[in-house]
Amino acid sequence: MSSLFPHLFSPLDLGPLRLRNRIVSSGHDTMLAEDGLIGPDLVAYHERRAAGGAGLIVLQVSGVHETARYTSHVLMATDPESAAGYRALAEAVHAHGTGIIAQLFHPGREVMDGEQGMAPQAVAPSDEPQERFHVVPQALDAETIREIIAGYGRAAALICDAGVDGVEVVASHGYLPIQFANPRVNTRTDEYGGTPENRMRFLLEAIESTRTAVGPHRVVGLRISGDDLTSDGMASDEFLDVIRAVEEQGLLDYVSVTAGDSSTLQGAQHIVPPMQYEPVYAGGLSGEVKKAMELPVMVAGRINQPHEAEQAIRDGQADLCIMTRAMICDPEIASKAERDAVDEIRACIGCNQACIGHFQQGVGISCIQHPESGRELTFLPRPVVRRRARLLVVGGGPAGLKAAAVAAEAGAEVLLVERERRVGGQVLLAERLPHRAEFGGAATNLEAEARRSGAEIRTRTPVSEEILASFLPDQVILATGSTDREPALELAGEPTLLTARRFLSDPPELSRGGVLIADWKGDWTGLGIAAALARRRPVTLATAASFPGAAVQQYTRTALMGELIRARVTFVSDVRLAGLDDSTAYLQSTLCDEVLEVEDIATTILSQPPRASVPHLGFGSVPVVRIGDCRAPRTVEEAVYEGLVAATEFVLGPSAVSA
């Protein structure tokens, strides 16, 4: 039992299922399914979280009817062949003492993909259009409604017969069951619409179908938003009416509370809330649900540290805490917290880049800090050095730190040299942007891992011939980052011109007047600097991307763009900076030859493509591998991944890792 987290590590019963602790990995699409079935990659992914001490794992959504295919890769519990995958997953998770529950799902109008690149088709209570995916659904007929309700029961039986502990009916984020309950979406006048009681009928019948199919010896839960948090969405009082109705029905074992709605960008950001939101920010919603019912209540929403979860339970906001991204970042967070080893926890920074960001790109889940996540079968267990192995890592940014940590953990002798006084590289600049303070945690986490693994780290130490001669490395990994690139501009007069790195590393006192941010990539840098300045002076964000923040994960961008719109930032897209004079910026369209003049500009800040930085030093016959920005300037994700690959191949030999 943890001395620091007694509430978090007390057991709890969900109906017939006893959990060893209150830490939950909620249902989240991993993109690890294989042709709609559970395969070895998905089993290995969840087994690692179970081995790391999670109390409960909730599997990603499983479709209950053919019309439930919201993406081309969704798990489907409609095919008897899928039972083998559920059985393998249940056995793997149970072997570590963790409970496993599967989500029962129908998206209704929330459909992302169409067949063979065509526009998506969807069904819903009514034909009310969906704004985010631009879907006009087909109104369901009564016969199909009854088929779908029966599908909940059939899917639940298949899953539970395979050994899974229970199922969770998904009525959160504006999916089909809550579409029926929402009077703005359900305009029917038959037995499934027209009155509050009729609009509730679909959800209650879906729960009844599920419970009848699995009986009293399996868990049945409900996932629901406490508030849609979007214009014209359902509010907390409406959701409480729904929750009172399902409790009165008496068929559930728990309720899982989240926030948001998938149908708008404004509401969808709460599906995986970015770092702009405070930890446990949905705790007030779950607390109201706890007051309204006796059943155990889970809460989700930016719970990344065990002390946050402990306080939420202690304060009566919930009985269990969903820490999904925390376990993507550190699968062992539960076991570390249970033995009070909080300093060893690799804390999630809420960047959304490789977790939900990968899903939205159509690739397998991972984490920018811990790229082993989603790649368990490739990189784990960690290889062991079977020969003398000395590795010199040059550069202490994320790439170098990851390489040092992995190689040292494998048993290599590792020396990392960094010319600056601190390791961390550009992460130390990123954390200075508004709402990005947590980003610095990536450097802190990686440095701590490298030191715990036994790597020697020397700061204020440029690489030199003396170091090579004294350490005698078997391999050198260059992780020396990148430098600013000065673009070719036509300049007249003496315009004030700064690079983004200079602005962030040593912020000067800017002249009064407008600021132009010349943004090349559409990433966090331009948006962040705009947010830092917009409350004090007029700001124009001019980007060569097709829209501001085009390279930023959607939910993160939504939260920040809302702030910039309220601050009256001016946006210009599809342009490059061509020239400047003392008060005017000249922007050339990337689509044609037109030039746009932006006047009253006192300062221009350049967020432009950097240039790889490689030391002018020969390494003789020692093999050299370049990783991160000094290989090709990109993001932290690529840097850390390449550090992992380079260190693994140093231990196992070249080409040991397939890309």
Active site residues: 175
Tell me the HSE value of 649 on the side-chain side, using a 13 A CA sphere.
20
Between CA 50 and CA 57 the distance in angstroms is 7
Structure tokens belonging to residue 390: 């000395």
- At position 311, the amino acid (one-letter code) is Q
Between CA 205 and CA 218 the distance in angstroms is 18
Helices (H), ranges, 251-344:
265-268, 283-292, 306-314, 324-329, 333-338
Q: Collect contacts of 200-206 with beta carbons under 8 A, ≥24 apart.
A: 200/242, 200/245, 202/125, 202/145, 202/149, 202/176, 202/177, 203/169, 203/171, 203/177, 203/178, 203/242, 203/245, 203/246, 204/245, 204/246, 204/249, 205/149, 206/104, 206/148, 206/149, 206/152, 206/169, 206/177
Q: Which residue from 232, 247, 224, 126 is spatially nearest to 175, judged by alpha carbons?
A: 224
The dihedral region occupied by 493, where left means phi > 0, alpha psi between -120 and 50, and beta the remainder, is left
Structure tokens belonging to residue 240: 């409480």
Q: Which residue from 437, 443, 432 is spatially nearest to 505, judged by alpha carbons?
A: 432
Angle at 236 between CA 233 and CA 240, to 5 degrees: 120
- At position 623, the amino acid (one-letter code) is P
Containing 641, the helix (H) or strand (E) segment is helix 636-652
Helix axes 236-249, 196-214, angle to 10 degrees: 40
Q: Which residue from 8, 6, 88 is spatially nearest to 44, judged by alpha carbons?
A: 88
Between CA 501 and CA 503 the distance in angstroms is 5
Between CA 114 and CA 617 the distance in angstroms is 54
3-state secondary structure of 60: strand
Nearest 10 degrees: Cα torsion 280, 170, 55, 268: -30
Strand order in the sheet with 584-589: 490-491, 575-580, 584-589, 595-599
